[in-house]
Structure 1
Amino acid sequence: MNIKTGSIKRPLLLLTGILLIATTLRAPVTGVAPVLELIRDSFGFSTTTAGALTTLPLLAFAIASPFAVILSRKCGLERSLFIALLLVTSGILLRLIESVWCLFLGTGIIGIGIAIANVLLPGLLKRDFPDKIAAITGAYSVTAGVAAAVASTVAIPIASLSGYGWNWALGSFVIFPLLAIAAWIPQLANTTTNTQNHKAIQHDDNLWRSPLAWQVTLFFGLNSLVYYVIVAWLPAILTEAGYSPAAAGSLHGISQLATAVPGLIFGAVLSRFKDQKTVAIALPTMTALSLAGIVILPQWAVFWVGLFGFGCGATFILALAFISLRSANVSQAATLSGMAQCAGYSIAAGAPPAAGMIHDYFHSWAALLIICTIICGLMAILGYCAGRPVHIQSRKQAVAPCINNALATE
Structure 2
Amino acid sequence: MKTTSKSANILLLIGILFIALNLRPAIAGVGPLVDDIKLATGLSNAMLGLLTTLPLIAFGVISMLTPLFTNRFGIGKTLFGAMILLIIGILIRYIEGNFFLYFGTLLFGISIAFGNVLLPGITKRNFSKNSGLVTSLYSAVMAVGASLAAGVSVPLTHIKGVGWRESLVVWALLAFIAAIIWFPQVNRLKRPPIKNDFIKAMKSLTKSRLAWQVAIFMGLQSLTFYVILAWLPAILISRGFEADYAGWMLSLSQATGILASLIVPIIAGRRKDQRSIVWVLILMEIIGIIGLMLPQFGGVAIWVSLIGFVLGGSFGLSLLFIVLRSHNTASATELSGMAQSIGYIIAATGPFIFASIFDFTGSWVYALMLLLVVSVLKLFSGLYIGKPGEV
**Aligned CA distance change for structure 1 residues 359 and 377 (closer, same or farther; 3 Å):** same
Partner-residue secondary structure (3-state), 2:388: coil
What is the aligned counterpart of 1:189 among 166, 172, 187?
A: 187
Contact 2:20 2:139 in 1 (8 A): yes
Structure-2 residue corresponding to 1:280? 278
2:324 pairs with 1:325? yes
Aligned length: 390
How far apart, in 2, do the equivalents of 1:349 and 1:203 lie? 25
- What is the identity, as a one-letter code, of the residue corresponding to 1:310? F
Q: Could you say which residue in structure 2 is the equivalent of 1:229?
A: 227
Matched, 1:312 2:311: yes
- Using structure 1 for the length normalisation, give the TM-score: 0.91
2:375 corresponds to which residue? Answer: 376
- Which residue in the other structure is 2:206 paired with? 208
Deviation at 1:9, TM superposition (A): 6.5
Match in the other structure for 2:261: 263
Q: 1:396 is matched with which residue?
A: none
Q: Is the 8 A contact 1:238 1:248 kept in 2?
A: yes
Among 76, 93, 100, the alignment partner of 2:91 is 93
Q: Equivalent residue of 1:89, what SS?
A: helix
What does the per-residue CA deviation read over 1:23-68, in whole Å, with 9 as the maximum and x for residues that have no partner?
1111111111111111111010011111111211111111111121
Which one-letter code corresponds to 1:333 in the other structure?
A
TM-score, structure 2 as length reference: 0.96
- Which residue does 1:47 correspond to in 2? 45
Report the identity percentage. Answer: 38
Give the alignment partner of residue 142 of structure 1, picking from 126, 140, 143: 140
CA contact (8 A) 2:67 2:198 kept: no
Q: Which runs of 5+ in 1 are unaligned?
A: 393-410
Matched, 1:218 2:236: no
- 2 CA distance for matches of 1:195 and 1:125? 18
Q: How far did 1:4 drift?
A: 8.0
Deviation at 1:136, TM superposition (A): 0.7
* Residues 150 and 250, structure 2, Cα contact 8 Å, conserved in 1: yes
Superposed CA RMSD: 1.8
The offset of 1:200, in angstroms, is 7.5
| Contact 2:201–2:334 under 8 Å retained in 1 | no
Give, in angstroms, the shift of residue 11 of structure 1. Answer: 1.0
Instruction: Point out where structure 2 has 5 or more consecutive residues left out of the alignment.
Output: none
Q: Is the Cα contact below 8 Å between 2:46 and 2:356 reproduced in 1?
A: yes
| Greater mean deviation of Cα atoms: 215-224 or 201-210 | 201-210
Among 71, 74, 78, the alignment partner of 2:69 is 71
Give the 3-state SS of the residue equivalent to 2:181 in structure 1: helix
Structure 2 residue corresponding to 1:106, chosen from 104, 127, 133? 104
Correspondence 1:30 to 2:38: no
Alignment CA distance shift 1:202-1:12 (3 Å): same
**Residue type of the partner of 1:379?**
K
Aligned residue runs from structure 1 range 166-185, under 5 A: 166-185=164-183
Residue in structure 2 matched with residue 390 of structure 1 by the alignment: 389
